[in-house]
Amino acid sequence: GAVVSQHPSRVICKSGTSVKIECRSLDFQATTMFWYRQFPKQSLMLMATSNEGSKATYEQGVEKDKFLINHASLTLSTLTVTSAHPEDSSFYICSARQLLETQYFGPGTRLLVL
Amino acid sequence: SQKIEQNSEALNIQEGKTATLTCNYTNYSPAYLQWYRQDPGRGPVFLLLIRENEKEKRKERLKVTFDTTLKQSLFHITASQPADSATYLCALARGGNTPLVFGKGTRLSVIA
């Protein structure tokens, strides 16, 4: 199956700093990438949909100025958590779509804000 | 509002038996449905996709059914093994470029 990577796999940062998470589709071109977050024992909650070369579409309740998404190429999308706070601590997972159906997921990034 | 329910939060089953997981949805008309496996601290891994005009799909020991009248999908693992222990997620999409929407998942434990 298609491979999606994420970097870093885990990050610890101080409150008020910004953190960038990279998502790459390694063996296919993804016109669309998605960012999800997941709290313990909860389902994946969609944060935003990102199309290459255009602005991301954010879900209701997700602050676009806090979670900056850049989809610079067909194989790379980045999520920047700006001015992170402890409540932003979560598991962030990206997903890339190869065709108009199957979404392949990255391994996730565990963010801990102190 | 749309709702996706995976009826059991946890399911314990004996090795060798068939595990059956349920996914029900309301206020939604999916074009297709997908099942994923998620291990602790990892991203979901794609297992099977079934479209609205398909009744059943199989892949090795896995079988998925899709009943759009009942608004339900069943996910079966035959001859279950301890290595099958994981959380299984049901996800739906309307088609086109719409994103997947996930259920909460069922945590399956296969006991040797």
- Residue A1 pLDDT: 65
Higher pLDDT, A86 or A55: A86
pLDDT tens figures, B41-74: 999 999 999 999 999 999 999 999 999 999 999 9
Contact state of A101 with B45 under an 8 Å Cβ cutoff? no
Taking the C-alpha atoms of residue A19 and residue A11, their distance in angstroms, rounded to an integer, is 8
**Pair of tokens at residue A60:** 């209701």
A9 shares contact with chain B (CB less than 8 Å): no
Please calculate the CA angle A81-A89-A104 and round it to the nearest 5 degrees: 70
Report CA-CA distances (Å) from B29 to B26, B35, B57, B95, B106.
Answer: 8, 17, 19, 10, 22
| Contact call for residues B64 and B72 (beta carbons, < 8 A) | no
pLDDT tens figures, A92-101: 999 998 776 7
A104 shares contact with chain B (CB less than 8 Å): yes
pLDDT tens figures, A49-83: 998 878 899 999 999 999 999 988 889 999 999 99
DSSP character string of B4-67: EE-S-SEEEEETTSPEEEEEEEES---SEEEEEEE-TTS--EEEEEEETT-SEEEETTEEEEEE
- Residue B48 pLDDT: 95
**Pair of tokens at residue A35:** 């960012």
A93 shares contact with chain B (CB less than 8 Å): yes
